[in-house]
Amino acid sequence: MSNLPSGEIPRGAIRFNTDSNKPELWDGSQWAEFQLSSPALGRGADTGPGARGIFGGGSNSDLSPVDRTTIDYINISSTGDAQDFGDLTTGRANPGCCSSQTRAVWFGGEAPGINEEIDYVTISSTGAAVDWGVNLAAAKRYIMGCGNQTRGILGGGGTPGATSLIQYITIAQTGTRNDFGDLTESTMLNAGACSNSVKGVFVDGNGVTAGRHIQAINIASTGNAQNFGDVINTGDASRSCANTVRGLVAIGAGQSNNIEYITMSSLGNSTDFGDLSEARFAVGATGDKVRAVIAGGYTPAIVNTIDYVKFMSQGNAVDFGNLSESRREPGAGSNAHGGL
């Protein structure tokens, strides 16, 4: 549809463009398309709780039962202590987690036996998790989770030995679970995973030399992972999150405070980013387009610390607040991460 001369149209006039199926506003010189939604505004104060980070499960050997059902949430763009959201269907440590703008989904873990359950919540609300309707193909602990608005990717994990299987779910459809392909190696047990809208990346591993590897998949397709590069440091129980440009990894093993980053659109080794506020591993990690938030962990005491950094800077983490209870290895997601 062509623009008409400005003299024939009053400024502020509105039309519906049948070519684009979107409303437009005449600004005095051209038809400007309405911005109908925005990831930043669409989950703002007028329509919901804002960009949320959500942490489910984990373990604390000083509490009974050890494996926690606790789900906490935070507003990523602010600071402060986490708030109670509800509970998982089963208390479990080290579950994988993936999330869309609508749902967070947890899978696997230890409860205290190795677990095959999948459950989910609606991120914009609060309340108890709901059963997914189908379980993992096999019970797994330390399974990695990432994804985009459509698919959740479930990578690796142990039964208890490490496996290379990658599965996927359609996040909007309960009861789904499908085979995706395989990791290039099965040593990615207890590693980190993150994604932008196109690429899923599995980072680091279980403390052996091969665990330094970074692998990547194309989320929209199926097939085996491809080599991406290597991390500088290697460690058991590393955790990762991403915005559209960078993936960050909080390196595990021992009590590490290392944070490294990769560029999601390219291949190559990680680069040093900075340090956590305290050396710890087995954290939960998530974020939005601006911030990465890293919560909980093991120092060797189990802590409730929450730190954050800005993805596009470099430097040390800053205090955010505290989880509602100390725990290690919670499964973390958000409704505004880099895959959305």
| Alpha carbon distance 254, 236 (integer Å) | 8
Question: How many angstroms separate the Cα of 201 from the Cα of each of 196, 213, 215, 306?
Answer: 9, 11, 6, 23
Identify the pLDDT of residue 187. 66
Q: What is residue 3's DSSP assignment?
A: P
Identify the pLDDT of residue 7. 54
Identify the pLDDT of residue 39. 36
pLDDT tens-digit profile, the chain (340 residues)? 444 444 578 877 888 766 555 677 776 666 666 654 333 333 433 334 579 999 999 999 999 999 999 999 999 999 999 999 999 999 999 999 999 999 999 999 999 999 999 999 999 999 999 999 999 999 999 999 999 999 999 999 888 888 899 999 999 999 999 999 999 877 677 889 999 999 999 987 665 555 678 999 999 999 999 999 988 887 778 899 999 999 999 987 766 789 999 999 999 999 999 999 999 989 999 999 999 999 999 998 999 999 999 999 999 999 999 999 999 999 999 999 999 9
| Alpha carbon distance 70, 63 (integer Å) | 12
Residue labelled with tokens 């507003």: 75
Residue labelled with tokens 């109670």: 84
Q: What is residue 282's DSSP assignment?
A: S
pTM: 0.85
Identify the pLDDT of residue 19. 54
Q: What is the full DSSP assignment across 195-211?
A: E-SSEEEEE--SSSGGG
